[in-house]
Structure formats: C-alpha cells, structure tokens
Amino acid sequence: NAGVTQTPKFQVLKTGQSMTLQCAQDMNHNSMYWYRQDPGMGLRLIYYSASEGTTDKGEVPNGYNVSRLNKREFSLRLESAAPSQTSVYFCASSAGGKQFFGPGTRLTVL
C-alpha cells in the first residue's frame, strides 16, 4: 500500500496563477482532509470531505476550493495564488479518528 500520495512535491507560482494539488489514498478511507503548515505552526485545516460526494470548509478555507473526485482522490485548487498561500500542504485520510498523512507539497508563491 502506498498510503497517501501527493503531487507535486514542490511548486513555485507567480501571484495570480492557478494550480491544483492532487491527493490520493489507497486505504479505502471515507474521510479526507487538506491542511496547511506554516513555519513554527501546527497544521490548520483548510477543507475536508467526510465521504465521497461531500466537502466542507475547515478553519482556513479562503482562497481555496476542493473536489472529491471519487473515494480515492481529493484535490485542492488555488484559483488565484497569493504570497500568503506560501506554505506546505498536507493531505490526510482517516479511519476511526486516526489520520494518515501524505508527504506534503511545498508551495511558494512569488
């Protein structure tokens, strides 16, 4: 099992550009999550999907959109990137409250 995979690993954008971060899990989990992690901070929840077909806002959803494409895949989209969105983004999936994380995408917005 690969667990949770994320692409790309690194990305540099210019202000105003758009991009989609991809996430997939092979553990047959119902729930999936997107977090951001800023230097010296814990993880903050951006969006989550309790199950296929549903998505909801987390703590810091502004500037992001998500799509739960199917049970395996949950993507995060930045429509118009801003320097404040420079961060490391983690995707996770969960079963029974225990969350499993991907390796992260390091995003820099210039």
Partner 1 sequence: GESVGLHLPTLSVQEGDNSIINCAYSNSASDYFIWYKQESGKGPQFIIDIRSNMDKRQGQRVTVLLNKTVKHLSLQIAATQPGDSAVYFCAENIILYSGGGADGLTFGKGTHLIIQP
- Residue numbers at the binding site for partner 1 (CB under 8 A): 4, 30-31, 33, 40-45, 48-51, 54, 56, 58, 90, 94, 96-104
Instruction: Outline where DSSP puts E strands in the chain.
Output: 4-7, 10-13, 19-25, 31-37, 43-49, 56-57, 65-68, 74-78, 87-95, 98-101, 105-109
Q: For residues 17 and 99, which CB has a smaller minimum distance to partner 1 in the complex? A: 99
The distance of closest approach from Cβ of residue 27 to partner 1 in the complex, given in angstroms and rounded to an integer, is: 12
The distance of closest approach from Cβ of residue 99 to partner 1 in the complex, given in angstroms and rounded to an integer, is: 6
Dihedral through CA 35, CA 10, CA 52, CA 82, nearest 10?
A: 60
The distance of closest approach from Cβ of residue 15 to partner 1 in the complex, given in angstroms and rounded to an integer, is: 25
Could you tell me if 23 and 91 are in contact, meaning their C-beta atoms sit under 8 angstroms apart? yes
Alpha-carbon gap, residue 24 to 37, rounded angstroms: 19
The distance of closest approach from Cβ of residue 81 to partner 1 in the complex, given in angstroms and rounded to an integer, is: 22
Q: For residues 7 and 51, which CB has a smaller minimum distance to partner 1 in the complex? A: 51
